[in-house]
Structure 1
Amino acid sequence: MTQRKRTARLAAGVAGAALLLAGCAAQPAADAPADQPTSTEAASTGPRVAVAYEGGVLVVDGETLEVIDDLASEEFVRVNPAGDDRHVFVTTSEGFQLLDVRDPELTDLVVEAAAAGHVVRHGGKTVLYDDATSDTTIFDTAALAEVDDALPDAEVIEGVDAHHGVSVVLEDGTLVTTVGDASGRSGIRAVDTEGTEIAVSAECPNVHGEGTAQDEAVVFGCENGAVVFHDGAITKLTSPDEFGRIGNAYVSGNSPLVLMDYKDDPDAEGYLLTNLALVDTEAKTLEKVALPDGISYTWRGVTRTEDGDAVMIGSDGRLHVIDPATGEITASHEAIEAWESPTEWQQAHPAIATTGDVVYVTDSANSTIVALDPHTGEELASGELPHVPNEIAVVG
């Protein structure tokens, strides 16, 4: 049974990690190129975009799309908003490393993890998951904004059997987490603050991804559908195809409607998808919707706007606005050049992120980034990047 451990302080990385990160500090202002802001200017409160590339992370001004700083790291890193207005968690071989995007620095504060995985933000908590142990680390998100030379206190919930998984903590303290082991993943379970099991399901083979919609309804993808945890019970929603794999959820906290990626051909090459799954967490329904001919996407190319619409960067290079109730494309705007499927999931290809009424899209083929108004398609800003962009995360 999953056990909750007492609160423990997570120190910065071990000496070996400190040596690794020694070269990752922000460039001193005195050495900054003349056309880039100093660290004082970078500390303003506007949005910031963290852009992962092969070998490091760029910090980009969210309004002008000018590069503020270029921070060296490892060959392959991933980026996730920490949930506050200042930080991003960068996943490296050492664990979850804290990036300050206001006064740009890859800090030496690391939550150690042998296989750093998903980062989830919900209900005032930021949750980190270590695939190597299935341990779940939980921070008060607000406390992350005040870190100085040490990470805030965190609760660590020990995993049972290690697997590639994810956890989320609901507002009442309920922990919902995936179930699996080295041989595979089978479902989810929910436990209360004392570790007592509330519900469990083994009806979600190859469970992956998580999203929390309106009214604390949590949805996970399965190889043959999805499962929803809501009001203390788990409901299985079955795909209309024998193989209907769902792996990621795109949610809005103000809507019970969830978009999920959908793959119906187990033998398909590449990573482009041409179908979506629409899940209604209130009605407990799942519907498959085919995109119009010529439009495809990857899991990295969908997000939700502040008003609940879904937006997708299609392989045709256009930004498509999607009604989450019907899956209908209600508008399409020019964004970047058309692009092809990556051959490996880690390979750089266009990514999308949003804050407020602004959508950011990267063009990996041309090493550029654009900011768009999803309602009108107006290009608000564009910028050239010194490296090929991969994943992005927006803060602010």
Structure 2
Amino acid sequence: MIYLDNNASTPLDPEVREAMAASLDLYGNPSSVHSDGRRARRAIEEARDEVALLVGARPEEIFFTSGGTEANALAILGSVARGPGRVVTSAVEHPSVREAVARLCEERGLEAVSVAPDETGLDPGRILEAAVPGTKLVSVMAANNEYGGVFPIAEIARGLTARGVLFHTDAVQAAGKIGVGVREWGVDLLTVSAHKLHGPKGVGALYVRRGLPLQAHTPGGGQEKKLRGGTENTVGIVGFGVAARIARGRPADEGQAIERLRDRLERGILERIPRTDVVGGAGPRLPNTSTVVFEGVSGETLLFRLDLDGVAVSVGSACSSGTLTPSPAILALGFSNEQAKGAVRFSLSRFTSAEEIDRVLDLLPRAVADVRGARDRVPIPISVPG
């Protein structure tokens, strides 16, 4: 299988797998004071140190969760925001942010306002314009999961800090692909997830700026300084720590190498397949992500066809795949419903090879032609006597 769905989830790094296997013997409860509990606690705190280093935070500002979705919910629903006032987001946020904001606004009498990017990116001035006096919270992702757009978090943060507005960024797709720094960016809250950077599923983290009040939405137990109750997932957290250390230590030019492969894929598609368009290609993007609109094609049908050919891709966010509605993120960029339904995402990783890209380019023209041909064929009515 040629795996080009790394924005949905990444394969475990072999070193992460090895560390997790070794940590299976850490069966003590990390909250217990006996030696087995202390061993598990020590492993968790070492992992916390590594995640903190990855995002430029202090270890005591990192709180482990079950993943990016929970961390986003904790940041948004745990905020002290109450109406009247508004919450501002981009129009291309992950569903875990969109739905948490909708719930927050409904429960606390707040107004939800979204700002759409365009093909060149997200204008920070428009976010700041939307953050009128009385704005309680702004949440803008660092990088989009569906087409890879990278947004100007530091510039937005500077404007919001001057106004005293709380700022959260979902950096799940950014961490491990581009530099992430909570101090340089100036954010109050930041979300990361292990399985997007060759770590395990089921573990994420929320950075909470020291001194920022946040309400627990999972009560019951004193874990994570009473912010997130529940016995910690020691094995997963150990894997997260190792994945964070590996990501931080990767060569500085690795992203450029992945970007060259991404560009090679895009050039090949545009040259070999007519009626195609790269989404967000005019603005800054993650080096590993390419979403292409294939006119006259159902993205889901093309996905299944490529799967039969041994190629794994996606039609958008894996958290919302299976739905027949077009992607809100692609629509927000100005594409029509029909175009958005033909969008397919290719997301690479450091394990993707040039040979794999070339193989995809060999397979893709025929696959697209077959899908277009099947769509264009109209069944001929059959007359039944009598």
Please indicate the TM-score interval, normalised by the length of the shorter structure. under 0.3
Larger gyration radius, structure 1 or structure 2: 2
| TM-score, reference length from structure 2 | 0.27
TM-score normalized by the length of structure 1: 0.27
Q: Compare the two structures and name the one with the higher strand fraction.
A: 1
